[in-house]
Amino acid sequence: MADTLYDFGMVGLGTMGRALLLNMADHGFAVAGLDTDTGKVDALHSEGAGKPVKGFGDAAAFVQAIRKPRAIMMLVPAGAPVDSVIHSLSPFLEERDFLIDGGNSYFKDTDRRALELTAKGLGFIGMGVSGGESGARHGPSMMPGGTEANYARIKPIVESVAAHFDGEPCVALMGSGSAGHYVKTVHNGIEYAVMQMISEVYDVMKRGLGLSNAAIADTFDAWNHAELQSFLVEITTVVLRYKDEATGKELVELISDKAKQKGTGKWTSQDAMDLGMPIPTVDVAVAAREMSGLKAERVEAAKVLKPSGEALPYSGDEAIECLRHALYAAVLIAYAQGLALLKEASREYGYGTNLETVAKVWRAGCIIRSRSLETIRAAYAANPDLANILVDPTISKIVLEHECALRKAVMGAIQASIPVPSLSASIAYLDGYRSEILPANLIQGQRDLFGAHTYERTDKEGAFHTQWEQA
Ligand code: 6PG
């Protein structure tokens, strides 16, 4: 193929970049890839044999081979590597060319890059890509942000390669500026919350009910065929059943109990705090990963702080049903927090994000895809201004039917000294959100007493201060 005919360029030929390029080639697009690692360029050539794919090691030759105005995507680690790729491509780019950052970039970096590139006459799209290697190869969920005009230029290609749900592509403009990376960050925050809650349920089944990994896997498998159907429940079964070839043991038993993180969950919590939005299920999911990292301290503490040793107050089929209903309600409550955060972020940052579109794009291809997302989409279709999905008539009915199980599951785990921080935070969020009256009146009184911070009254307008301590 002549070197000037490539429709699309990709910088970063790691597993994700190669998989997405091959997906594009399968859909009839001629694509070029750039990587300084010749091994990755060779891998692209061998995996893409017979397809309209070409790898380059030289930035100038790569850029010149792409049809103008050029669309070039970067799939490199977030942070400095993105700026370094932009810097290395810039001398060869021309006006109206544009770059797409497909990594998990911090949204404020995306805003900065968009400003810098726009000033040079270049277009920029920050796009979250979810679904891992298999998603990239066979259909990811993609969350682009930026201008309608820039998005229009990549729309045909991203719609062809995206996952589809009921014939609709799981990609759409999430809003202006950094909206795409913001939505992806919140996606990951929800991902942390759901993974944490699945692991808490696994812990209750394992430590509390004494079930084997095989029995727990069968349980999750059955759940995945009903209302809890989701990618994360599905892969839980795979992880629990996997046997280590070398030892013949269940691999999950050999994996260290220290969870790592690359930062997106933390960013979700940090920005939610900046915006004054409560997302406690995500917050404690991040904290739970941090707690897992204190392995050496936990080992010592376990010797001193011996748990109560009380048994779970439920067992057998009743316990399994309780946990199933609990997880169903808690996951909906986690989505509710993430989506409420997106609503506020869209208002604060002027993104213009449509939450029905977000739910649509998350229905397939991404890590948090689940049957519930169609219910959530329908809630926003019925009421685009919904403050929180928990007050949608269908979702509130589900949550009210299942909250008792969530409460019972959490109380039982607490009694048995099994940590369930994210499940607990979910029930607490529900109880807080539906409390017409919260004890914050007392906090206001305390603040005013020690700091003269003033308070508002329920019976008259204004800011008030009281000399609380009578001398
Ligand atoms: C996805 C994933 C993906 C990645 C996470 C892992 O949507 O495909 O979210 O982006 O696996 O960033 O995040 P942690 O390393 O922070 O767990």
CATH number at residue 470: 1.20.5.320
Q: How confident is the model at residue 4 (pLDDT cuts 50, 70, 90)?
A: low
Taking residues 250-266, what's their average pLDDT? 97
Burial code of 442-460, b = ≥16 C-beta within 10 A, e = fewer? eebeeebeeeeeebeeeee
* Same structural domain, 63 and 135: yes
* Same structural domain, 404 and 427: yes
Angle between helix 15-26 and helix 148-161 axes, rounded to 10 deg: 80
* Same structural domain, 160 and 46: yes
User: Taking the chain, what is the end-to-end CA distance rounded to the nearest angstrom?
Assistant: 90
- For the Cβ of 424 lying below 6 angstroms from any atom of ligand 1, the answer is no
- Alpha carbon distance 215, 229 (integer Å): 18
Quick: pLDDT tens for 119-156: 999 999 999 999 999 999 999 999 999 999 999 999 99
- For the Cβ of 15 lying below 6 angstroms from any atom of ligand 1, the answer is no
- Given a cut of 90, whether residue 3 has pLDDT beyond it is no
Q: What is the DSSP letter of 255?
A: S
- Given a cut of 80, whether residue 2 has pLDDT beyond it is no
- For the Cβ of 131 lying below 6 angstroms from any atom of ligand 1, the answer is yes
- Given a cut of 70, whether residue 345 has pLDDT beyond it is yes
pTM: 0.97
- Least confident interval from 49-53, 167-171, 306-310, 460-464: 306-310
Q: Which of 15, 130, 188, 194 to mutate to test the pocket of ligand 1 (most atoms within 8 A of CB)?
A: 188
- For the Cβ of 81 lying below 6 angstroms from any atom of ligand 1, the answer is no
Q: Which of 75, 230, 262, 268 to mutate to test the pocket of ligand 1 (most atoms within 8 A of CB)?
A: 262
- For the Cβ of 196 lying below 6 angstroms from any atom of ligand 1, the answer is no
Q: Does residue 180 lie in a domain region?
A: no
Nearest CA to ligand 1 atom 9: 188
Query: How much distance in Å is there from the Cα of 418 to the middle of ligand 1?
Result: 26
> Does 184 qualify as catalytic in the annotation?
yes
Could you tell me the CATH number of the domain that includes residue 32? 3.40.50.720
Give the active site residue among 40, 51, 54, 191: 191
* Same structural domain, 446 and 428: no
Q: How confident is the model at residue 99 (pLDDT cuts 50, 70, 90)?
A: very high
Query: How much distance in Å is there from the Cα of 76 to the middle of ligand 1?
Result: 13
Question: Distance between alpha carbon 308 and the CA centroid of its chain, in Å?
Answer: 35
* Same structural domain, 142 and 279: no
Nearest CA to ligand 1 atom 4: 132
Q: Does residue 61 lie in a domain region?
A: yes
Q: What is the dihedral of CA 294, 296, 298, 299, to 10 degrees?
A: 160
Taking residues 170-189, what's their average pLDDT? 98
Query: What order of strands is seen across the sheet that includes strand 98-101?
Result: 53-56, 31-34, 8-11, 71-74, 98-101, 123-130, 141-145
Q: Does residue 178 lie in a domain region?
A: no
Closest-lying ligand 1 atom to the alpha carbon of residue 191: 9
Beta bridge partners of 128: 143
* Same structural domain, 352 and 236: yes
Residue that terminates a domain, selected from 147, 173, 199: 173
* Same structural domain, 412 and 467: no
Query: How much distance in Å is there from the Cα of 140 to the middle of ligand 1?
Result: 13
Residue 98: phi and psi, rounded to 5, are -150, 155
- For the Cβ of 130 lying below 6 angstroms from any atom of ligand 1, the answer is yes
* Same structural domain, 334 and 234: yes
Residue that terminates a domain, selected from 173, 207, 234: 173
* Same structural domain, 190 and 318: yes
Closest-lying ligand 1 atom to the alpha carbon of residue 104: 10
- Given a cut of 90, whether residue 302 has pLDDT beyond it is yes
Nearest CA to ligand 1 atom 5: 188
Query: How much distance in Å is there from the Cα of 188 to the middle of ligand 1?
Result: 6
Taking residues 181-208, what's their average pLDDT? 98
Number of domains into which the chain is organized? 3
Angle between helix 280-293 and helix 316-349 axes, rounded to 10 deg: 110
* Same structural domain, 157 and 205: no
- Cβ-contact 259, 293 below 8 angstroms: yes
* Same structural domain, 322 and 425: yes
- For the Cβ of 264 lying below 6 angstroms from any atom of ligand 1, the answer is yes
Q: How confident is the model at residue 79 (pLDDT cuts 50, 70, 90)?
A: very high
Q: Does residue 328 lie in a domain region?
A: yes
Could you tell me the CATH number of the domain that includes residue 374? 1.10.1040.10
Query: How much distance in Å is there from the Cα of 263 to the middle of ligand 1?
Result: 9
Domain membership of residue 289 as a residue range: 186-433
Nearest CA to ligand 1 atom 10: 130
- Alpha carbon distance 82, 309 (integer Å): 51
* Same structural domain, 382 and 457: no
How much is the pLDDT for 471?
A: 53
Instruction: Report which of 63, 21, 27 is spatially closest to residue 41, judged by C-alpha positions.
Output: 21
